[in-house]
Structure 1
């Protein structure tokens, strides 16, 4: 399906060039949608530390394209230049302009956000866990190997899209569609493991930046006491602003484990690790009480290890969470709107993309950063 003729034929896009490892603002065609797609005018798209992997070697076996330029999007991994950071996903939101003939449940004018996995079947057993592992073996991540969302118009699979509730701010919602979904799923998985009254329980959030500051909000909405742990003073300041009851910087608070045990009695009932740091994971059991939950959300470039004895003897219960499926995304949106959960977003123009990247490289930001389109 082609555009209806009222749109320009070209648009600007921030594109990563694998050959010279840089980002250029290029002019590219506006996409024509397939029958199972929506054409969306992007209002906002978010950036995360995972985008830095485009400029640095990674050890996750991720293929960053065939050498041709592709439009960037916010994608989950991590940068070895930073110590405590947040794994997050691909994020964008906007307004539906066209609806493919096979798309279901959407009309022109709907405000939507979406998940980024394409070329999956959405139906197999693996897709019910995560579309990245579709049994077809053809799954691709928009912004990694195919075009993403740092462009004014993009094509979105209708199965990935979810409507944004009325009254929810569109301009600041982009981070919800991976960072928020990942944080929400991590908190919900933790909540399902904990038996007791949340106000009597403590959860540590390790990595309080782009993902963690949302995790803190979801935990507080459930009523938990939250302890924020991060190496960045800015991230800890943001953690306190979002309701963390206590915060610690392990590089300065050398006795932070003892302080946490003093505050909690026997240690935290759970810890959600949003970082890409293997050392941070190695120290996470220190702040958890016996039979506490260790939620693996961040993905370090180095392998993480846990004691087989600790896992077998239930010293810790290791669980995992990610950005999930579209049905979980809808629940995340409903919960976020009900409880007034909102990302802290610093926004740039598309032409300021390099400045945004530089700021992220330097770690001089709070919450999320992204592009706000006209």
Structure 2
């Protein structure tokens, strides 16, 4: 398929400085597992701000931003892993994992993302060009086929945020041995990850306590289907009491032994991890998803109450496919505020940093692909 030799791209040109929109070469096939994708939608993730600030070290610059994208395959390498031109795909950040470390070869598939041998580039997964561009080069082994029921607009935020919260919910279910009717709390429930996590948990048969501290976030928590919605601004003591009242498993003889069976930490405010532990029952499970510089938990909450704390990263390739297949079956409302074209990046950032954003922010790079979906009457898209 013929396509242009140059394109527009939103790029990090210096750490701590604003993005620039540059004209750059369209990527081409380099390795056997490469795909070139015509980007339809690219969304903004919290990690994008970390890349811009240089948190991950010596990323090569300039670097095209956004590691959440969706689009249509326009070129394939010699080993395309089942992909062909015309396939609709969800694309993420991982590119050319080493292929020889324990995670890549001997560990369970659900740990493939923990490659220790290094991805392409010197600073890992965040050192490759992303999706705030008209085209992108991706690794077929880390790219996900989209079921007909999942739209390109919904898929872009799923590429990192969706994969991350999907695995967080699955970790909670597995580590805490949750069953239908079990209670799970989500601290930071009204954000881009939280509103998806509520829906994933509810569709799995769990009862959800959503906890947040912004009016807009609490509204999103309610509309996403949380069984109980709590305002963290009431303070830790009141929030813990409200969780215990909802769950009904408070044990007076143990002091404060009751609470949710598992809790997801999605907020990176300093108090979030401590609050998450406090609302979790004795011997319960806490899954840390947010990435603050330091995770602060008083020993009284962690050691004296025998909690299990797990960290989690984005989903593996098989987990990613399971996520979109689950969405195709059960449905998912991805709350997205969209911006038309790459030149709207400053408007997007204004809303993101203004604290008024509901859900995810995404740029529609190629409206024609979305229009083509609409015309495909055989598809009922999420």
- TM-score category by the smaller chain? 0.7 to 0.9
Asked if structure 2 preserves the Cα contact closer than 8 Å seen for 1:49 and 1:360, the reply is no
- SS of the residue corresponding to residue 241 of structure 2 reads helix
- SS of the residue corresponding to residue 182 of structure 1 reads helix
TM-score (norm 2): 0.85
Name the structure 1 match of 2:174.
Answer: 192
> Cα RMSD (Å) of the superposition?
2.3
43, 65, 70: which one aligns with 1:93: 70
Which structure: greater helix fraction? 2
Name the structure 2 match of 1:329.
Answer: 320
Asked if structure 2 preserves the Cα contact closer than 8 Å seen for 1:54 and 1:64, the reply is no
Say whether residues 1:206 and 2:200 are aligned partners: no
Say whether residues 1:13 and 2:13 are aligned partners: no
Report the CA distance between 1:164 and its aligned residue.
0.3
220, 230, 235: which one aligns with 2:212: 230
The separation in 2 between residues aligned to 1:138 and 1:314, in whole angstroms, is 42
Greater shift, 156-165 or 120-129, is seen at: 120-129
Matched residue count = 348
Name the structure 1 match of 2:371.
Answer: none
234, 239, 242: which one aligns with 1:259: 242
Name the structure 1 match of 2:35.
Answer: 38
Distance 1:131 1:191, change over 3 A: closer
Name the structure 2 match of 1:220.
Answer: 202
Report the CA distance between 1:353 and its aligned residue.
0.3
TM-score (norm 1): 0.86
Report the CA distance between 1:71 and its aligned residue.
0.6
47, 59, 71: which one aligns with 1:65: 59
The separation in 2 between residues aligned to 1:12 and 1:57, in whole angstroms, is 23
Report the CA distance between 1:278 and its aligned residue.
3.0
Greater shift, 227-236 or 47-56, is seen at: 47-56
Report the CA distance between 1:290 and its aligned residue.
1.1
The separation in 2 between residues aligned to 1:365 and 1:137, in whole angstroms, is 32
Asked if structure 1 preserves the Cα contact closer than 8 Å seen for 2:68 and 2:130, the reply is no
Name the structure 1 match of 2:361.
Answer: 369
Distance 1:141 1:230, change over 3 A: farther
Unaligned runs of 5+ in 1: 74-89
Greater shift, 123-132 or 26-35, is seen at: 123-132
The separation in 2 between residues aligned to 1:9 and 1:33, in whole angstroms, is 13
What per-residue deviation string (whole Å, max 9, x for no partner) do you get for residues 60-117 of structure 1?
xx11524x321101xxxxxxxxxxxxxxxx3111111111112221111111113312
The separation in 2 between residues aligned to 1:65 and 1:172, in whole angstroms, is 29
